[in-house]
Amino acid sequence: MLRERIADFAGLVEPDRVRKEVYTDQEIFEREMERIHETVWIYCGHVSQIPKTGDYYTVQIGRQPMIMVRGAGGKVNVLYNRCPHRGNMICGDRHGNTGDQFRCSYHAWTFQHDGKLKNIPMMESGYNGTRFTRDNPDCNMKKAARVENYRGFVFASLAKDGPALKEFLGRSVVAFDDMCDRAPGGEVEVVPNCFRVIQHSNWKLFLENQLDALHPSVVHQSTGRAAHEVEKILARKAKGGAVPLSYHMLSAFATVTIDKWDDFQTINYPYGHCILTGYMGLRPQDPDTLAYEKVMEKAYGKKRMEEILGVNIHHVLVYPGLSVQSPLQQLRAVRPLGVDRTLTEIWHFRLKGAPEPIYRRSLAYYNLVNSPATLINADDLENFWKCHAGLASDGGDWVSFARHHGRDIEEKGVVSSGPKMGTSEAPMRNQMKAWAKYMHK
Ligand code: FES
Ligand SMILES: [Fe+2]
């Protein structure tokens, strides 16, 4: 049907531009959910969200309501949040503990944590001679086709075929390695709960913005300047003493000017993943950092500690639904709700075994940059809404990704932005290349 309506489907995406319908068309959205979000590996949550047997978290994968639950022997299951009887959602709450079984609130069918039917009220008399026998798999809650966990980060794929998680993630695993390795204990722990923001735009606008290195010093300049003014006053008062690092988190939006963002680099991988290198200098020589380095050195030895703390990434995008800032233990999961409505879950993590001030640093970044209360996030949200509204208009047909097009460096399927071209739109081109591949299959 879609092919009939949009005759040249392949023509929606060109190497340096994309048709506006890609963002605004309801049928394209439905196909994206089917071909992308309900097929590829999608992040469900972290194992520390469900530490005890029976703990569960509900999560949306594409259009499917799902439940991530801790079962017998510590196994993490991902099930469709649907009763096989008459379709009732099994869990109405966002999270909780279901005890030793799931019990449907409608007619009290009960299920194990792996979805297998336990009991139906008066099953013998009610179902004798019907198709609903205990060994009929239709009586069970349906499972996600595949579930895998990488260093505690749980992903599910609703398609039985496709690359294994490790192969799918490729080099983007650095997001999870970098985050976990920075913990002296080698693990992170989620900080309950997350912020949830619904933006009035297509989901792809969020992902494109994450590695858009040109926008921060424009969109967030006013906030950066204000923070920098205060930072200067505090520096004068401190007479050479340290100013809290949290001011730097905001002032960097003004002090790292557009031209400086060109010094960074984006590296783009198959499946649409992307890494933005460079960082705003988070290894100061203040007492908190030095104390942390001591703990890290004890845990890993000097050489390995230097390797870990020397990892130079600002942002990793795991297409199509995850944005990770590993040096500060931040993670945002993108859940499309409709063609013009997108939920983001904004999480942060604690490094196991790290001193408390290091956690406070992560919390400060979470609150100051990523939370819905900050001006940084608010400025982005305004642009998302405005972009979507403009794209839905008749004012033009194309979205341009031409910045530094033709200057990318490609080697063995990996595309890097050229030297001094950190603001290249290579990440958007790469995402759309992956998108087109999924959609045309
Ligand atoms: S709908 Fe779940 S038991 Fe009837
Ligand atoms: Fe931004």
| Ligand 1 atom closest to Cα of residue 87 | 1
Question: In this model, does residue 422 exceed pLDDT 70?
Answer: yes
Which residue's CA is the closest to the ligand 1 atom numbered 1? 86
Q: Is the CB of 88 under 6 A from ligand 1?
A: yes
Which residue's CA is the closest to the ligand 1 atom numbered 4? 107
The pLDDT of residue 280 is 56
Q: Is the CB of 126 under 6 A from ligand 1?
A: no
Q: Is the CB of 109 under 6 A from ligand 1?
A: yes
Q: Which of the listed residues 79, 82, 85 should we mutate to test ligand 1's pocket, taking the one with most ligand atoms within 8 A of CB?
A: 85
Distance 364 CA to ligand 1 centre (A): 45
Distance 128 CA to ligand 1 centre (A): 18
Amino acid identity of 310? G
Q: Is the CB of 104 under 6 A from ligand 1?
A: yes
Report which of residues 9 and 141 the model is more confident about.
141
Question: In this model, does residue 374 exceed pLDDT 80?
Answer: yes
Lowest mean pLDDT among 5-14, 101-110, 262-271, 311-320: 5-14
Band the pLDDT of 8: cuts 50, 70, 90: low
| Ligand 1 atom closest to Cα of residue 90 | 2
Q: Is the CB of 106 under 6 A from ligand 1?
A: yes
Report which of residues 283 and 394 the model is more confident about.
394
Nearest to 55 by CA among 94, 93, 96, 102: 96
Report which of residues 242 and 132 the model is more confident about.
132
Percentage of the chain exceeding pLDDT 70: 97
Quote the pTM value.
0.95
Q: Is the CB of 107 under 6 A from ligand 1?
A: yes
Lowest mean pLDDT among 103-107, 162-166, 239-243: 239-243
Each residue's pLDDT tens digit, 73-94: 999 999 999 999 999 999 999 9
The pLDDT of residue 5 is 59
**Do 43-151 and 172-213+262-440 agree at the fold level?**
no
The pLDDT of residue 284 is 75
Q: Which of the listed residues 106, 110, 120 should we mutate to test ligand 1's pocket, taking the one with most ligand atoms within 8 A of CB?
A: 106
Which residue's CA is the closest to the ligand 1 atom numbered 3? 107
Lowest mean pLDDT among 2-11, 15-24, 305-314: 2-11
Q: Is the CB of 83 under 6 A from ligand 1?
A: yes
Q: What are the extents of the domains in the chain?
A: 43-151, 172-213+262-440
The yes or no reply on domain 172-213+262-440 and CATH 3.90.380.10 is yes
The answer to whether the CB of 156 falls within 8 A of the CB of 58 is no
Which of 3.20.20.480, 2.102.10.10, 2.60.40.10, 3.40.50.300 would CATH assign to domain 43-151?
A: 2.102.10.10
The pLDDT of residue 249 is 87
Q: Is the CB of 221 under 6 A from ligand 1?
A: no
Mean pLDDT (the chain, rounded) = 93
| Ligand 1 atom closest to Cα of residue 108 | 3
